[in-house]
Amino acid sequence: MIPSSHLSWYERPVVLVLLSVLSIIGLGFVTPLFDLDEGAFTEATRELLESGNWVSTSLNGEPRHDKPILIYWLQAISVTIFGQFEGAWRLPSMLLSGIWLWLTYRFGREFLSPRTGALAVWVLASSWLATVIFKAAIADALLNTLLCWTLFTIYRFTQAPNERTLAIAGLAMGLGFLAKGPVAVVLPLGTLLIAMSLQLRLWEFLSICLKPAAWLTVLLVITPWHVASYLDQGWAFFEGFYLGHNLGRFSDTMESHGGSYSYYLLLLPIIVMPFIRWLPATLGHGWRTFINRDQSLDLFLWCWFGLTFVIFSASSTQLPHYLLYGLTPFFLLLARQIDQQISVGKWWLLPGLTLAAFFALFPLLLPWVNAPDQYLEATLALGTQVFENWDGPVVVALAMLAVISVWLARSSSIYGILMSAAAVALSVNFVAMPVIAAAQQQPVKNAAEFALANHADREFVAWRIDMPSFSVYTDRIVPKTTPAQGQLVFTKRGKLDSLAQQVNDATIAPVFSDGGIVLVLIGGFDQ
């Protein structure tokens, strides 16, 4: 163990912990839930608690087959202990993200170098993409943590084989399967297969696969819930999840999340900012690794990243955070390149500071966005208003960080780049996300509170809107259906004309309006 007095300030545990806490938590305990994903996951968990059915999940009373059960169990335990508020819904992801960062640090320290492990934490914790996922009440922080645990353990097994290590890998893989399905098995096995095949060690791979320790552990973890799911709803989950949401996402575009083969290639430079200076060297090292195939660790990490990159680049459904499943090894390799060339030209501060400034000041751009409908127009207007009414302490702090970055660069440009990395994380967590939440999601929460305070005895329905957080905040199922007399309708601006047509021109009385969200009584106030 290196004494703290001999460590650079950015390597010290207290700095790494502080950076991690700021990146993981941000304003996640108070920011409203984001739709669609957070709203859907939390509403499914709420319905699980309401029904008492801990085997099968539903959304708006209909079976939900998007994901296996583990994230819902963790969220249910959290809100049972702490109550139903945003921080409790997000707490499992936050805690698991801390483990994710720790696993990355420990592996980098053990197999690369102590400084590389510390720098990997800086790269991961300051990634705008990762910091969003850290606190999202969805399954991705859970899956990333379990993938890292699985693959790091598998690599340790290849260096020092024993049955206990293999069983631990099986435990992590099984839990990953319960988190998000086959990807938790495909990525680890695929990574090991490709890495060992390239090193002409295929027979060794087959011998590992024939060892029962991992597979028995996986089966012990996943079988009870799958059996319980079959007993509860037959083959419905298997058909909906494995055929629909796994094969379907790969072969067909789902939820309008299409892309192209170049999608992640173009996204990667933006994801690694402000460390883009070391991106070409890292990619060049990867090319040499595949050519030479003589360094087992490097090859293993590159196969992990490369397999993830290829699978999701070929998928018909593409989202930025899918690449995170393979970014941890890439960040470790990038951190090593930073460690090997710690000092660079000062002008490399510019990409990071530019990105931080964009996230910090993007609300100023909202008035120039061309809104295609009334809902988005009202949402953008509210976002602009929120930003204009803000006292701006965070923006001032970020400006000070930029000045400090430039000042530190006088002695070592890496100090300035690390400060610009912190500025990126802070701008995302304390400016961009809160402003988006205030404009898009706070009106939904306000509408729910108004509905409960003034119309709790009425039936709530949703009309041409997919924001399930309204159900979470009203603590009831809000079906998406054609409204009827006396119902309170949750909808968007711009949908009132179509609503009037659907209710045969019955009286519609708007009773709440905030941003792009409206509540309407069908039949007026006297119903």
Partners of 514 in beta bridges = 517
Residue 313 DSSP one-character state: H
Name the one residue in this structure whose structure tokens are 């939820």: 255
pLDDT band at 397 (very low <50, low <70, confident <90, very high): low
pLDDT band at 393 (very low <50, low <70, confident <90, very high): low
Examine the pLDDT at 362 and tell me if it is beyond 80: no
Partners of 63 in beta bridges = 58
CA distances from 147 to 73, 173, 177, 185, 253 (A): 19, 7, 10, 9, 25
What are the structure tokens assigned to 362, written together? 């993007």
What is the mean pLDDT of the segment spanning 313-329? 85
Q: Which carries the bigger pLDDT value, residue 63 or residue 166?
A: 166
Work out the percent of the chain whose per-residue pLDDT is above 90: 49
What are the structure tokens assigned to 187, written together? 């990525």
523 near 485, Cβ under 8 Å? yes
In this predicted structure, which of 31-40, 185-194, 300-309, 424-433 has the lowest mean pLDDT?
Answer: 424-433
ω before 443 within 30° of 0 (cis)? no
Residues 109-118: contacts with CB under 8 Å, at least 24 apart: 111/155, 111/297, 112/297, 112/332, 112/335, 112/336, 112/339, 113/336, 113/339, 114/2, 114/7, 114/11, 115/8, 115/11, 115/339, 116/332, 116/335, 116/336, 116/339, 117/335, 118/7, 118/10, 118/11, 118/16
pLDDT band at 432 (very low <50, low <70, confident <90, very high): confident
Closest CA to 185 of 194, 175, 197: 175
Report how far residue 483's alpha carbon sits from residue 489's, in angstroms, rounded to the nearest whole number.
7
In this predicted structure, which of 186-190, 251-255, 392-396 has the lowest mean pLDDT?
Answer: 251-255
pLDDT 10s digits, 325-345: 999 999 999 999 999 887 766
What are the structure tokens assigned to 109, written together? 């320290």
Contacts of 427 (CB under 8 A, 6+ apart): 356, 357, 358, 359, 360, 394, 398
Work out the percent of the chain whose per-residue pLDDT is above 70: 87
Question: Does residue 269 sit in helix, strand or coil?
Answer: helix
pLDDT 10s digits, 108-152: 999 999 999 999 999 999 999 999 999 999 999 999 999 999 999
Examine the pLDDT at 1 and tell me if it is beyond 50: no
Closest CA to 519 of 463, 436, 468: 463
ω before 36 within 30° of 0 (cis)? yes
First vs last C-alpha separation in the chain = 73
Closest CA to 146 of 89, 221, 225: 221
The pLDDT, as a whole number, for residue 365 is 72
pLDDT band at 246 (very low <50, low <70, confident <90, very high): low
Instruction: Give just the sign of the alpha carbon dihedral 476, 477, 481, 484.
Output: negative
**DSSP-assigned states of every residue in 7-37:** S-GGGSHHHHHHHHHHHHHTTTTTSPPPTTH
pLDDT band at 250 (very low <50, low <70, confident <90, very high): low
2 near 114, Cβ under 8 Å? yes
* Residue 6: exposure state from Cβ atoms within 10 A (0-12, 13-18, ≥19): exposed
Examine the pLDDT at 405 and tell me if it is beyond 70: no
What is the mean pLDDT of the segment spanning 202-214? 88
Contacts of 468 (CB under 8 A, 6+ apart): 35, 36, 39, 40, 42, 43, 59, 60, 478
CB burial of 461-476 (b: ≥16 within 10 Å; e: otherwise) equals: bbbebebbbbbbbbeb
> For the chain, how big is the Rg over CA atoms in Å?
25
The pLDDT, as a whole number, for residue 137 is 95
Examine the pLDDT at 264 and tell me if it is beyond 60: yes
